[in-house]
Amino acid sequence: MVRPRVFFDFAIGTELVGRVIFELFNDTVPKTAENFRALCTGEKGLSAVSQCPLYYKNSIIHRSISDFMIQGGDFTKRNGTGGESIYGGNFPDEDLSRPLDSEGLLCMANRGPDTNGSQFFITLRECPHLDGSFQGKHVVFGRVLKGYEDVVKKLAEVPVDEKYRPKLPIVIVKCGELELRRAVRPSDVEMKQSERSSKRRKARSESSGSERDRRSRRKKSKRRTSESIVTNDQQNEEVHKETEEEYDARLEREERERIEAAKRRELERLERELNSRKDGGVRFKGRGRMKFIDPELHHRQ
């Protein structure tokens, strides 16, 4: 069973930082994992309670404590006092047995037992003080699969005020779910091949023996043969089921392509901006050029 994978694209101010990919533990906490997954896709639409989109897109990281965690998910009030689940309001804790024993864990933020909504936090180290039997334990429902070193740590370095609020907005500019490519069942492929064979046999039996019909059959046979070759190649590709290693390799390739495309767009923008300038790209503003006068050589008489 492959666990769901979702992603956040983060920006600090107007600067795009990169993508973080999470793996969700739907095998141990299915309700919590489904809540987070649906809030990443926005598929639930508007909330009946707050009339806000049930969607993490454009929400912020509202709390960041160095060497501890970064927290977000409040898409209603954006200050840590709001947020809601896809189930309407809060929902109870599922599994509190998993310890917060490493960095990069994805956990539900709460105000006590059974008060899970949409707020979450990502650990920056192990947090043994959050384990135990006292109230306020947190459900661990996922982990950072990719992007911890180059994205999450960069987010944690943003300066904060006395209330641990980032001084620059850390925004989730895009989010969603990553899916494995679905493979066609072999039985479906065999059924389609048998249907095409029976149609060809029927056409041969019903055809006349005239020269014109024979020429027509030859042309159709050639065309069908070429189409069959292409179709078989496509079916062979569809039957091949993507493994988890191929899935990871594809994600890395797509991430590199996305970063390269963003760099190309930025270079094109800078080139257009440079070409649009006049006077060799330099403009002097104000009443005139500034000129340095050496007091040793130029002095008033």
Q: What is the rounded distance in angstroms from the CA atom of residue 39 to the CA atom of residue 177?
A: 10
Give the closest residue to 139 by CA, choosing from 110, 160, 159: 110
Q: What is the DSSP letter of 290?
A: -
Give the closest residue to 121 by CA, choosing from 89, 161, 73: 73
Handedness of CA 112, 119, 97, 150 (dihedral sign): negative
Look up 130 and say whether it is catalytic. yes
Are the CB atoms for 22 and 145 separated by under 8 Å?
Answer: yes
Catalytic residue among 5, 19, 37, 63: 63
Look up 121 and say whether it is catalytic. yes
The encoded tokens of residue 143 equal: 């982990």
Catalytic residue among 54, 130, 145, 155: 130
Distances (CA, A) of 66 to 45, 236, 287: 34, 51, 49
Catalytic residue among 75, 121, 141, 145: 121
Say how many C-beta atoms besides its own lie within 10 A of residue 156's C-beta.
Answer: 20
Look up 138 and say whether it is catalytic. yes
The encoded tokens of residue 220 equal: 């159709």
Catalytic residue among 35, 71, 116, 119: 71
Look up 297 and say whether it is catalytic. no
Look up 110 and say whether it is catalytic. yes
Q: At residue 183, what are phi and psi to the nearest 5 degrees?
A: -95, 150
Beta strands in the chain (DSSP E): 5-12, 15-24, 61-65, 69-72, 105-108, 120-123, 140-146, 170-178
Catalytic residue among 110, 119, 124, 143: 110
Handedness of CA 53, 57, 60, 65 (dihedral sign): positive
Which residues does the annotation mark as catalytic? 63, 68, 71, 110, 121, 130, 138
